Amino acid sequence: MDERIHAHAETLVDWSARVDAGDDVVLSVGPEAHDLAVAVAEKLGERGATLLATYSSGEITRAHLRAHDGEFAEPAPRRAMYEAADVVLSIGGGRNTSATADVPSEARQAYAEAAEAAHEARMGTDWVSTVHPTRSLAQQAGMSFEAYRDFVYDAVLRDWEELAVEMDRMKRLLDDGQQVRVVNDGTDITMSVGGRTAVNSCASVAYDSHNLPSGEVFTAPYDVSGEVTFDVPMTVRGTPIRDVRLTFEDGECVAHEAAQGEAVIGEILDTDDGSRRLGELGIGMNRGIDRITDNILFDEKMGGTVHMALGRGYDANLPDGESGNDSSVHVDLITDMGEGSRLEVDGEVVQRDGYFRWE
Amino acid sequence: MDERIHAHAETLVDWSARVDAGDDVVLSVGPEAHDLAVAVAEKLGERGATLLATYSSGEITRAHLRAHDGEFAEPAPRRAMYEAADVVLSIGGGRNTSATADVPSEARQAYAEAAEAAHEARMGTDWVSTVHPTRSLAQQAGMSFEAYRDFVYDAVLRDWEELAVEMDRMKRLLDDGQQVRVVNDGTDITMSVGGRTAVNSCASVAYDSHNLPSGEVFTAPYDVSGEVTFDVPMTVRGTPIRDVRLTFEDGECVAHEAAQGEAVIGEILDTDDGSRRLGELGIGMNRGIDRITDNILFDEKMGGTVHMALGRGYDANLPDGESGNDSSVHVDLITDMGEGSRLEVDGEVVQRDGYFRWE
């Protein structure tokens, strides 16, 4: 077994999930994630945790949802399992990232509603999501399997403690600041962040961070105005989108266009009251991620990118008792900070041409 | 997908587990059992059942148990999951039937004790175990994958209703009888079955039968005396055994020998007070199984074989409140009823030369 698989498992169990003796761990395993699951099982044994492995397959989900009449009962065993768990580790990795492409959205929505309590119970655990490099993910990234594996481990096997220190600088700038301005090709947008608390998302539940890899600092902006162009190509709801351009006035998106996928962006904006507002401003700081691979788990953390999400904001960014932007959607869009770009906090340049001032 | 996979799924869901709308189903999937799991998920969707898929991998179990210090805590999510389930469907099928061969027996035992409540909760559901044909199981059977697949579907895709009627004849003979005698090459053994109730094990929870395939009628004998030779080769506790010969007096095994694996048989006999007595007499009646494949799920159901188990008996065979043979082991051994063999109930020949009198 590739030694990096063991290192990945150790990072997941120790740094990310902080597993202790006696912890009850649910390990969700994708159909092609077996090798990482075995390495994680070994680490969980070493730590003295219990283990229940579940099988997460798009093909199984598709078969079940499509055959069902849509009147879903609550999946009681799933809820009970999560309620009894301390930690949920999800290892993605299948054979086809489009496996559920022909599941009608009504069926997805109806199932999600029936499984809401189970989902909440999972969110109440120390959960962490990661992926095992697979041929299917390599294909989505347009890369050979071998190169994609290197890419994943470069992103995952960071010196997370060191990165946490660097990201803390960014967090403090945002916490102490009132206004953020992002300038890039086709972008000049300002937003308020005063009173909000940035999250140092360094891939550990100890930092309220639930993705491995992570490497972003994010907060919940408001009073957004200006224009922004998201030049990083993505797949959103199964549709390729490219060069999305949004115009904000008084916090609300008042105009949108896109070189590709404009209809999907329109649908998202029309979802509800909160879907025209930003729920998140995120600063990518993981320099182990050196390219866009059409996978949000990686893309939004790439060093030298900035992302903004339409829709729901995170409670972790808000003062106790305050409610932020509410919406049923949360769609991240990314801009790559190139030559001539600037990220300013209260007029002070924090990042120029894609490089932080301390780099 | 092979149409027989869909037929297997339908037999499992409808005939074996009797899944109804709203049933909470846990589906345990082996690493190579994906295709059958997808077909089962479709059937479960059609029936309106909920679905939670778990991943059952010998390699994961091995990694976890070997790395653990042996002080196992109760796996609470596993117990909670089973307690909330109506049905548990287990689809075996991995890449190596010896995957857990180097897990120390103390670790297995300690884990089994910690997981006892979870095991009991599973036993409280309508559980059914089956296998998806894999290359690893084909190898264990000494068969090509293609031939093994045919073998499995011949065993599984029976006319179970018709077989249930035939097996009911055997059940009534045992229920009404007092004494069974088995005569075969190296075998002349008698046992009492009076007052015991035989189980018509026709692969459905509606008949107290939890294996697919099944096709045996079994009861709980007592007052065993005589000699028996088990000529069907098996692997017991990882050790090949062959031609086991046991001598019984007053219900107890007083002598044993074997052409191969004699020490393992000795170990089993010495386990506890009940391990020298028979817990089960089973009559194989599945004519879809035409050969021995070193897999107890199939071998003990083969038409024209008789098996006896050292150790624990099943409550289903006993009158209410009566306790049968108690032991921590239950080890099935099989004799192939060939030329010159007889199975008698109260002196009446029920099977001769391996053929039932109604065949």
pLDDT of B322 strictly over 90? no
A314-318: average pLDDT = 92
Length of chain B: 359
Closest CA to B96 of B61, B52, B146, B147: B61
pLDDT on residue B238: 82
A317: DSSP letter: G
**Cα–Cα distance measured from residue B52 to residue A121, given in angstroms and rounded to the nearest whole number:** 15
Residues in chain A with CB shorter than 8 Å from the CB of B122 are none
Asked if residue B131 and residue B202 are part of one domain, the reply reads no
CB atoms inside a 10 Å sphere around CB B185: 13
| Distance of residue A282 Cα from the nearest chain B Cα, in angstroms | 34
Mean pLDDT of chain A: 96
A142-148: average pLDDT = 97
pLDDT on residue B105: 86
pLDDT level of residue B1 (50, 70, 90 thresholds): confident
Asked if residue A130 and residue A213 are part of one domain, the reply reads no
Asked if residue B304 and residue B172 are part of one domain, the reply reads yes
B143-149: average pLDDT = 98
pLDDT on residue A322: 86
Asked if residue A182 and residue A76 are part of one domain, the reply reads no
Residue of chain B whose alpha carbon sits nearest to that of A86: B77
pLDDT of A237 strictly over 90? no
pLDDT level of residue A297 (50, 70, 90 thresholds): very high
A122-136: average pLDDT = 97
Which residues span the domain enclosing B53? Answer: 3-156
The contacts of residue B304 (CB under 8 Å, 6+ apart) are B284, B336, B337, B351, B354, B355
In three state form, how does the secondary structure of B79-127 look? HHHHHCCCEEEEEECCCCCCCCCCCCHHHHHHHHHHCHHHHHHHHCCEE
Q: Which string of DSSP letters, residue by residue, matches B139-189?
A: HHHT--HHHHHHHHHHHHS--HHHHHHHHHHHHHHHHH-SEEEEEETTEEE
Asked if residue A173 and residue A38 are part of one domain, the reply reads no
What confidence tens digit (pLDDT) does each residue in B55-92 have?
Answer: 999 999 999 999 999 999 999 999 999 999 999 999 99
**Cα–Cα distance measured from residue B13 to residue B26, given in angstroms and rounded to the nearest whole number:** 12
- Percent of chain B residues past pLDDT 90, beyond the cut: 96
Asked if residue B201 and residue B334 are part of one domain, the reply reads yes
pLDDT on residue A29: 98
pLDDT level of residue A105 (50, 70, 90 thresholds): confident
Exposure class string for A33-53: b at 16+ Cβ within 10 A, else e: bbbbbbbbbbbbbbbbbbbbb
B77/A24 Cβ within 8 A: yes
- Percent of chain A residues past pLDDT 70, beyond the cut: 100
- Which A positions 85-124 lie with beta carbon below 8 A of chain B? 85
pLDDT on residue A323: 85
A131-138: average pLDDT = 97
- Which B positions 55-84 lie with beta carbon below 8 A of chain A? 55-57, 59-61, 63-69, 71-84
**Residue B51 Ramachandran class (φ > 0 left, ψ -120 to 50 alpha, else beta):** beta
Of residues B37, B54, B67, nearest to A46 (C-beta): B67
CA-based R_g, chain A, Å = 20
Structure tokens at A245: 């351009």
B53/A57 Cβ within 8 A: yes
A198-205: average pLDDT = 97
**Cα–Cα distance measured from residue B240 to residue B151, given in angstroms and rounded to the nearest whole number:** 22
Asked if residue B317 and residue B269 are part of one domain, the reply reads yes
Asked if residue A275 and residue A206 are part of one domain, the reply reads yes
Residues in chain B with CB shorter than 8 Å from the CB of A102 are none
**Cα–Cα distance measured from residue A314 to residue A303, given in angstroms and rounded to the nearest whole number:** 22
**Tokens 């109260």, residue?**
B346
User: Domain ends where: A132, A156, A180?
Assistant: A156
Give the torsion sign (CA, A319, A324, A330, A335): negative
CATH number at residue B35: 3.40.1830.10
Q: Is A89 helix (H, G, I), strand (E, B) or coil?
A: strand
Say yes or no: B258 contacts chain A, CB-CB below 8 A.
no
pLDDT on residue A227: 98
B145-166: average pLDDT = 97
What confidence tens digit (pLDDT) does each residue in B97-110 have?
Answer: 999 999 998 999 99
Q: Which string of DSSP letters, residue by residue, matches A329-346?
A: -EEEEEEE--TT-EEEET
| Distance of residue B95 Cα from the nearest chain A Cα, in angstroms | 12
- Which A positions 18-57 lie with beta carbon below 8 A of chain B? 22, 24, 26, 29, 31, 34, 37-39, 41-46, 48, 50-57
Asked if residue B349 and residue B299 are part of one domain, the reply reads yes
Asked if residue B117 and residue B37 are part of one domain, the reply reads yes
pLDDT level of residue A354 (50, 70, 90 thresholds): very high
pLDDT level of residue A351 (50, 70, 90 thresholds): very high
Number of domains in chain B: 2
Structure tokens at B4: 């027989």
Q: Is A204 helix (H, G, I), strand (E, B) or coil?
A: coil
pLDDT on residue A61: 97
Asked if residue B201 and residue B175 are part of one domain, the reply reads yes
pLDDT of A238 strictly over 90? no
Q: Which string of DSSP letters, residue by residue, matches A7-74?
A: HHHHIIIIIIS---TT-EEEEEE-TT-HHHHHHHHHHHHHHT-EEEEEE--HHHHHHHHHHS-S-PPP
A80/B80 Cβ within 8 A: yes
Tell me which of B19, B42, B90 to substitute to probe the interface with A (most A C-beta atoms closer than 10 Å).
Answer: B42
Asked if residue B349 and residue B304 are part of one domain, the reply reads yes
**Cα–Cα distance measured from residue A343 to residue B107, given in angstroms and rounded to the nearest whole number:** 57
pLDDT of B162 strictly over 90? yes
User: Domain ends where: A110, A130, A156?
Assistant: A156
CB atoms inside a 10 Å sphere around CB A327: 21
The bridge status of strand A126-131 relative to strand A199-201 is unpaired
The contacts of residue A105 (CB under 8 Å, 6+ apart) are none
Closest CA to A297 of A262, A340, A335, A332: A332
pLDDT on residue A13: 98
**One-letter identity of residue B167:** M
Of residues B24, B31, B45, nearest to A75 (C-beta): B24
Mean pLDDT of chain B: 96
**Residue B104 Ramachandran class (φ > 0 left, ψ -120 to 50 alpha, else beta):** beta
Of residues B46, B53, B74, nearest to A60 (C-beta): B53
pLDDT of A67 strictly over 90? yes
Between the two ends of chain A, the Cα-to-Cα distance in Å is 36
User: Domain ends where: B136, B156, B176?
Assistant: B156
A84/B83 Cβ within 8 A: no
B75/A48 Cβ within 8 A: no
ipTM for the assembly = 0.92
What confidence tens digit (pLDDT) does each residue in B223-275 have?
Answer: 999 999 999 999 998 889 999 999 999 999 999 999 999 999 999 999 999 99
**Tokens 């061969």, residue?**
B101
